[in-house]
Structure 1
Amino acid sequence: MMMWSNFFMQEEDRRRAAAGRRRARGLQKSQMTPEREGKIKLALLLTSVGATLAVLAVGTEFWVELNTYRDNGSAVCDAAHLGLWKLCTKRLWQADVPAGRDTCGPAGLPGEANCTYFKFFTTGENAHIFQRTTKKEVNVAAAVIAVLGLAVMALGCLCVIMVLSKGAEFLLRVGAVCFGLSGLLLLVSLEVFRHSVQALLQRVSPEPPPAPALSYEYSWSLGCGVGAGLVLILDGVCFLLLTLPPWPWGSLCPKSGHRAT
């Protein structure tokens, strides 16, 4: 009886020792070198730049400025700026407009402002800007694509955080795909928004008063969106390169050892 008890205890000890060795090998494999961890953190720093630009672009309303012309025989002129979610119309003093500018603006000048969120997100109504009507389907599509890009970007950040905290390096490739896709979605959103601006300028209301002549110029929020898209795509490429095996320079240019004396 004592012999069988010793046998089972020895078998249990061997199983525990084997399990411990397997865990140790797994931890050794999943442990990253400081150099690799530093590269991932550097790429994550680049991600933070792209994420900041993306949130700033989507959250602000200076995507495009619509300006009436100054020669209206009045001391004031009208301008507007809009983004994915909100429209702001402004009445500016002609004296504040820079000399030599034919149109009213820029919209950042101080004046009487009226900002409203677009109703097509809640009631489905189109917005009316300077006797022109928005095409709500295109505006909603641009906003949805931008939000989807932010969601995919957040998923990529979560994957990289899991790589750094848990050592799950297989998620690095998933994060690279997420960042590249996020940047692409942001650029697609910008293009769809550009089409919405063109549709707005063409949908002139036939009802009086007559629609004023307009000029338009894209503003800094859209520039932030372009920068965010390019940075996120570049960041996706950087993370993808980190998942590839090392370049075989070691086999092409082996290190020379010490000569025997």
Structure 2
Amino acid sequence: MMWSNFFLQEENRRRGAAARRRARGQPKAQMTPEREGKIKLALLLTSVGATLAVLAVGTEFWVELNTYRDNGSAVCDAAHLGLWKMCTKRLWQADVPAGRDTCGPAELPGEANCTYFKFFTTGENAHIFQRTTKKEVNQAAAVIAVLGLAVMALGCLCIIMVLSKGAEFLLRVGAVCFGLSGLLVLVSLEVFRHSVRALMQRVSPEPPVAPALTYEYSWSLGCGVGAGLILMLGGGCFLLLALPPGPWSPLCPKWGQRAP
């Protein structure tokens, strides 16, 4: 009799513990369709920024380097480069738009030679039109950009978990990730701008003489600027959705309510 009472009490204790675990595992409140729609809309906004960020990092039209057309030849040289790769092009003078003093734009058809930067593998600087890159600055820009993409991917994972599993506590984490990724993309752009200025100043003293150059930023860098701003805006939207509604209710009364 004593053993039967012992086993009965032990069974009741296990059932009670299992019930408490199930109660703790259940969400306190289900996500409303309106709130889920707002989260999906913010995720759509950040997906546009994510697409622009991947497009900017993966392409090599960040900056164009152009020589001057007045060289006494039927061809002129131009180049465009990004974080990973550089392309030099030999263009026909007849294809260059009239009224343009420099060679380009780089999208014109011509003889192209594209190579990846060696400072990611062998640690060698690249030489462009008798000018030398500053590999430390270029590497810093690339690392910051890749880190921004990694943080952005983590933010996407957090928001997907919010929508699929109802883990709303990850909403703030996703907001911080998207805001940080946008900031990192913008920082990468600024570091790249410094690398371009360093490239223009590091002229090789060895012959042949370095040609006069001009540079202009291209559409890949514009995509990066747009991506950084959109990601930060999306992070702000997620942060507003993650805030408790209590402090904002006096400032934003519901429709249909009238002041007494």
Task: Please name the residue that 1:153 is paired with.
Answer: 152
> CA separation in 2, counterparts of 1:198 and 1:215?
11
Amino acid paired to 1:47: T
- Structure 1 position 12, deviation (Å): 4.4
Task: Please name the residue that 2:226 is paired with.
Answer: 227
**Contact 1:132–1:201 at 8 Å: present in 2 too?**
yes
Structure 1 residue 40 corresponds to structure 2 residue 36: no
Q: Describe the shift of the 1:152–1:256 C-alpha distance in structure 2 as closer, same or farther (beyond 3 A).
A: closer
> CA separation in 2, counterparts of 1:229 and 1:104?
31
- Structure 1 position 64, deviation (Å): 0.1
Q: Describe the shift of the 1:35–1:219 C-alpha distance in structure 2 as closer, same or farther (beyond 3 A).
A: same
Task: Please name the residue that 2:138 is paired with.
Answer: 139
The DSSP-based 3-state class of the residue aligned with 1:175 is: helix
- Structure 1 position 41, deviation (Å): 1.0
Amino acid paired to 1:194: R
- Structure 1 position 16, deviation (Å): 3.6
Task: Please name the residue that 2:188 is paired with.
Answer: 189
> CA separation in 1, counterparts of 2:239 and 2:257?
31
What per-residue deviation string (whole Å, max 9, x for no partner) do you get for residues 55-79 of structure 1? Answer: 0000000000000000000000000
Task: Name stretches of at least 5 consecutive residues in structure 2 with no aligned partner.
Answer: none
Task: Please name the residue that 1:96 is paired with.
Answer: 95
> CA separation in 2, counterparts of 1:161 and 1:252?
30
Task: Name stretches of at least 5 consecutive residues in structure 1 with no aligned partner.
Answer: none
The DSSP-based 3-state class of the residue aligned with 1:113 is: strand
**Contact 1:30–1:167 at 8 Å: present in 2 too?**
no
- Structure 1 position 249, deviation (Å): 3.5
The DSSP-based 3-state class of the residue aligned with 1:79 is: strand
Structure 1 residue 68 corresponds to structure 2 residue 64: no
Normalising by structure 2, report the TM-score: 0.90
Structure 1 residue 170 corresponds to structure 2 residue 150: no
**Contact 1:68–1:213 at 8 Å: present in 2 too?**
yes
Amino acid paired to 1:137: E
- Structure 1 position 13, deviation (Å): 5.7
Q: Percent identity?
A: 88
Deviates more, 1:39-48 or 1:66-75: 39-48
Q: Describe the shift of the 1:19–1:190 C-alpha distance in structure 2 as closer, same or farther (beyond 3 A).
A: same
What per-residue deviation string (whole Å, max 9, x for no partner) do you get for residues 19-75 of structure 1? Answer: 547735753415211111111111111111011000000000000000000000000
> CA separation in 2, counterparts of 1:251 and 1:190?
38
Amino acid paired to 1:76: V
**Contact 1:85–1:117 at 8 Å: present in 2 too?**
yes
> CA separation in 2, counterparts of 1:45 and 1:21?
38
Describe how 1:85-124 pairs up with structure 2 within 5 A. 85-124=84-123
The DSSP-based 3-state class of the residue aligned with 1:206 is: coil
> CA separation in 2, counterparts of 1:193 and 1:256?
53
Count of matched residue pairs: 256
The DSSP-based 3-state class of the residue aligned with 1:61 is: coil
